[in-house]
Amino acid sequence: KFLAGVTLVFLSILPTVVYVIAVYQLGMPKGNLDLGGIIGSYIGLILLGGVFVAIGVFSSSITNNQIIAFIVSVLICAFTYIGFDAIASLGILGDADLIVKSIGINHHYVSISRGVIDSRDVIYYLSAIFFFLLLTKISLESRNWKK
């Protein structure tokens, strides 16, 4: 299910390469693009999509109702994307604000989308994917124990 979701994300992003090629050809001078930023953004989008798919798979594993799974997934995705930034922007945690902000997905996506593919960001995304897939595995195994 996860691989199918990530494949769908990849195939959804793939047609946008046409726009990059068009802007590359029409630029003045020709090829006047920040290809590092563009490639970084594509990599970041695929990793971001992977995390969101893993969250969706996890939320569908904890309930049998598809609507509830969708709502839970949207809430978790929204919180991981903007929730940590919102908490850090309150300034109530003092020195821990930077740590809280770095837990959020947006912090790492902004870094990658600038064209700087830092190993810390890639490891963060892969760890988040692994974490939610592990939670999915645990959730599905616990269903078997209840039977």
Residue 146 lies in a domain: no
Residue 57 in domain: yes
The Cα–Cα gap between 49 and 34 comes to: 22
Q: Is residue 66 part of a domain?
A: yes
Q: Return d(Cα 57, Cα 44) in angstroms, integer.
A: 20
Number of domains composing the chain? 1
pLDDT digits (tens, 9 = 90+) for 51-91: 999 999 999 999 989 999 999 999 999 999 888 888 888 87
Copy the structure tokens of residue 56: 């969706």
Structural domain that includes position 124: 2-140
Averaged pLDDT, 97-122: 85
In a domain, 145, yes or no: no
In a domain, 147, yes or no: no
Tell me the pLDDT tens digit for each residue of 43-53. Answer: 999 999 999 99
pTM of the model: 0.87
Indicate whether 104 belongs to any domain.
yes
In a domain, 119, yes or no: yes
Q: Is residue 136 exposed (0-12), middle (13-18) or buried (19+ Cβ within 10 Å)?
A: buried
